[in-house]
Structure 1
Amino acid sequence: MEYVARVPGPPLDRYIDDLYCLTGTPRHRRMDVPPMPSGHLFLNLGDPVVLRDSDPATAPEAMADGWFMGVWTRRFTVEYPSAVRVVGVHFKPWGLSPFIGAPASELRDRWAPVDDLWQRSVDTIRNRVGETDCAATALQALEEELLARLAAPTRSLGLVRYAARHLEAVHGAVPIAALAEATGVSGKHLIDQFRFHVGVTPKRVARIYRFSRLILSVDARRPVDWSALAHRAGYFDQAHFGKEFKAFTGRTPSEFLDLRRRLPAEPDFPPDAGPMPAG
């Protein structure tokens, strides 16, 4: 597949990591996606994409049009069609709330059709974005749509953005009490604002940043010292590391390494960086 991405201009770059087009034939039809510090918007311009929650109580769903996803705290599976054509947005952890007009907690660990939040608009947006085969033109159209829907930032969003950027800088390695003290608010207030703007608590964001640092640092082409990697990422209890790794990926570290050696990630292809073939 081809992945074409761009960082939007100000002020969208305060809330969005990138806009992207994903097109072509997937190397792997099914991909497991571990928790990552990001919300998402997808506009599907091709055949339906099937989403499967790792929670067996949630039924899989075929998404034909467009959908939002909040921050996930567990893995989910994406099942691509034989030919993919998707335009998407990777939001920063705090970046989704100014666009959806609702608490981000409503999208924690779930997906929602675009029309549930942007009433009766997905077909208009898909037609505008999808009327060209040029990625640059499609991304420009998507950027204009997002700019038109951006709400004015609030003081509480500024607080969350400041705190979350600090968590990102230290890969989650900071006590939440110290984070609250640094921002000049109570721990409860900080937690409440994270739940509203990010969808999860700052402690959960810290865990996701810590895990993402570890999983992105694994080089399956070489011997892996899991103890050293885990310690460097901030895990000081090996039993806790192993339990969290299995919860986030569905595999033990050795099973993950075996998978990555048999089915390596494609170099310089972001969709393969964290997600892994589902087998």
Structure 2
Amino acid sequence: MEYVGRVPAPPLDRFIDDIYCLTGVPRHRLMNVPPMPSAHLFVNLGEPARLWDSDPSVPPVTFTGAWFMGVWTRRFLFEYPTRVRLVGVHFKPWGMSPFVGVPAAELRDRWVPADAVRRRSPDRIRDRVGGLASATETLRVLEEELRSMLTEAPPRGLDLVRHTGGRLEAAHGAVPIGALADAAGVSGNHLAAQFTSHVGVTPKRVARIYRFARLILSVDALRPVDWPGLAQTAGYFDQAHFSREFKDFTGHTPTEYLALRRRFPAERGFPPDSGPMPADGFSTSPPALGTGTIGGERARRIEEVPWAW
């Protein structure tokens, strides 16, 4: 597949990491997606896609048209159609707040049709870009539409969240939450309430996701991986904590994850990060996520990683 993306111009860059076009035939249809520090807008211009929550009690969704997806705190599955054509937005964790009409907490770990959270539906984007062949022109129109959707005045508390969230982003989550609150001149409870309103989760949870993202994006599958060193750099200070969170977020032990990354190397330029992994062995049916089965391989015990400190 071809991924063409770029950072939008100000003021959108305060809320958006990148806008993109994704087209072509996927090498892997079913992807296992761990939590990442972002929210999303998908505008599907092609065949339907499907999504599954790792919570087996949540029914799958067939994805057509425009959909918002909040910050995820657990993994999910995304099944591409046989041929992909979509445009999308990777929001910063707090970035969706000025574009939707509901508290971010209502979108945590959820995907919802765009017209359910906006009076002016992003389906308009689908209408405008549906006939465009150029990725450059598609992204120009997408950016224009996003600028028109942006509220003139930021919602109350968003500036506080954006400032403190930016510090979490820069430090990859390695900032004490109490220090963030003190620096902003607010209580920890007030900061947590504003994050819950504009991100959907507390700053502590955002820090966890940034920390995990730093670790997973540091993995170079072409070289020997120093798991203890990577984990320590990312801020994990004991073996049990690292092993438990890695298994919880990916469905795999570190050794299983590395084996899959080596078996299925990422396409050059896609995925845009190293988080999503092929859920090998499934074409049209999802694995039993609730039982720990991913890609046809039953997850073994949480790995005991030899620590160097």
Shorter-normalised TM-score: what interval?
over 0.9
Greater percentage in helix: 1
Corresponding residue of 1:164: 165
Aligned length: 279
Contact residue 21 and residue 87 of structure 1 kept, 8 A: yes
1:238 aligns with 2:244: no
Equivalent residues in 2 for 1:184-263, closer than 5 Å: 184-263=185-264
Instruction: Return the letter of the residue paired with 2:32.
Output: D
Whole-angstrom distance in 2 between the partners of 1:122 and 1:89: 12
Shift of 1:102: 1.5
State the SS of the aligned residue for 2:51: strand
Alpha-carbon distance change, 272 to 29 in structure 1, aligned in 2, over 3 angstroms: farther
Q: What is the TM-score with the length of structure 2 in the denominator?
A: 0.88
Aligned to 2:288: none
State the 1:140 CA deviation: 1.4
**Counterpart position of 2:19:** 19
Matches within 5 A, 1:120-199: 121-151=121-151, 152-154=153-155, 156-199=157-200
Cα deviations across residues 131-183 of structure 1 (Å, max 9, x unaligned)? 21111111111111111111121451111011011111111112211111111
Match for residue 53 of structure 2?
A: 53
The answer as to whether partners of 2:217 and 2:273 remain within 8 angstroms in 1 is no
Distance in 2 of aligned mates of 1:93 and 1:138: 24
Question: Retained in 2: the 8 A contact 1:49–1:62?
Answer: yes
Mapped partners of 1:272, 1:102: distance in 2: 29
Q: Deviations over 1:58-84 (max 9, x none)?
A: 111111111100000000111000100
User: Could you tell which deviates more after superposition, 102-111 or 122-131?
Assistant: 122-131
Offset of residue 224 of structure 1:
1.1
Q: Distance in 2 between matches of 1:58 and 1:192?
A: 26
Moved more, 209-218 or 267-276: 267-276
Distance 2:83 2:199 in 1: 32
Per the TM alignment, residue 272 of structure 1 is displaced from its structure 2 partner at its CA by 5.0
- With normalisation by structure 1, the TM-score equals 0.97
Residue 96 of structure 1 corresponds to which residue in structure 2? 96
Deviation at 1:29, TM superposition (A): 0.4
Deviation at 1:9, TM superposition (A): 1.1
Gaps of 5+ in 1: none
For residues 3-14 of structure 1, the aligned pairs below 5 Å read 3-14=3-14
Counterpart of 2:68 in 1: which secondary structure? strand
How far has the Cα of 1:270 moved from its partner? Answer: 3.8
1:23, 1:85 within 8 Å by CA — same for their partners in 2? Answer: yes
1:213-272 Cα deviation digits (max 9, x unpaired): 000000111111211111111000110100000010010101001101111112332445
Q: State whether structure 2 residue 93 is matched by structure 1 residue 78.
A: no
> Closer, same or farther in 2 for the Cα pair 1:155/1:113, shift >3 Å?
closer
Contact 2:114 / 2:123 at 8 angstroms: preserved in 1?
no
Alignment root-mean-square deviation, CA: 1.2
Please name the residue that 1:268 is paired with: 269
Counterpart AA for 2:104 = A
Deviations 1:158-209 (A, max 9, x none): 1101101111111111221111111110000000000011111000000000
Cα distance in 2 for partners of 1:30, 1:163 equals 35
User: Is the 1:266–1:272 Cα contact (8 Å) retained in structure 2?
Assistant: no
3-state DSSP of counterpart to 2:137: helix
Give the AA of the match of 2:43.
Answer: L
In structure 2, the residue matched to 1:42 is: 42
